[in-house]
Amino acid sequence: MAITRTQLATYNGTHVAYPGAMTAGDVSFCFINVLGTTTAPSGVGDNINGTYTLIGNSGSSAVQMAYLYAFFNVAAASGGACLINNLTVPSGGTGINWGAYEYGGVSSSLDGSVQTGSGSSTTPSASITTTNAADLLICVVSCGSASGNTAGSGYTKQFDNATSPNLLMQDQIVAATGTYTGAMTLGSSTAWSEMQVAFKAATSGSVTPNATGVIDITGVQGALTAISPPQATGTMSISGIVSPTITGAGPGPSIISGPFPWYLIELLGR
């Protein structure tokens, strides 16, 4: 499944809101920077999907931290309806900025671990080595440069709060394994703190539904051959009694008890 960029949500003074409709099954990433403490914000959530999970945080530079939260498999919502408005600022925290981005086709599986870096220069440089060909790379930077910030090679700058302290987010959708450095160039030399993480692309799910109970096959002549399991996304279960009837001459009824895999079958020699 291909990874797609859906939309950016920005802070309007009271909350972060997505301007367009949200697509069910997408993922919403919320990124935050905090100065003055290494304690992460808590209670990050919205009015549609609930509480977001902390994915990781940057290295600390003068107690300047960047955080990434995620909610996978979001619910559908009309434009402007999803408001990320729940965030508890940690004690001593200042200079807080936040934004969010919605993507499609992203799984909840990380490709490797969160990579971090910190320093004082114009070039935040956390790098990540991927082992999965199709990944979404997200790089979040907390820094003091309010303007003139540009994305690293191969990346697209998706968010720049244009303040000091500043919160930046760049991303890259890759189609090959390799080492990728989030070398964003800042407009001025300043303290920075950066994190980079890779998420695998979602795959089209295939499941073998489970049946509980009894299947009755009546009057079968010939052989039943399994062709292939049904393909579906998600999980299917069948509870109770499933009793398809196949008519025709042949041996008497047979009873097969579950649970058992459910296959598409073909009646041969009818």
Kindly tell me if the per-residue pLDDT of 238 is higher than 80: no
Residue 257 tokens read as 């008890």
Residue 244 tokens read as 């398809």
Kindly tell me if the per-residue pLDDT of 242 is higher than 90: no
Q: What is the pLDDT of residues 37-61, one digit of tens each?
A: 999 999 999 999 989 999 999 988 7
Residue 130 tokens read as 């991927």
Residue identified by tokens 């797609």 is: 4
Do the Cβ atoms of 108 and 203 come closer than 8 Å? Answer: no
Kindly tell me if the per-residue pLDDT of 1 is higher than 70: yes
**Helix, strand, coil shares of the chain as percentages rounded to 5?**
0, 50, 50
Q: What band does 252 get if pLDDT is binned at 50, 70 and 90? A: low
Kindly tell me if the per-residue pLDDT of 125 is higher than 90: no
CA–CA gap between residue 111 and residue 261 (Å, rounded): 31
Percent of the chain with pLDDT over 70: 75
**Any idea which of 5-14, 116-125, 199-208, 246-255 has the lowest mean pLDDT?**
246-255
Closest CA to 140 of 192, 78, 81: 192
- Written as one letter, the residue type at 56 is G
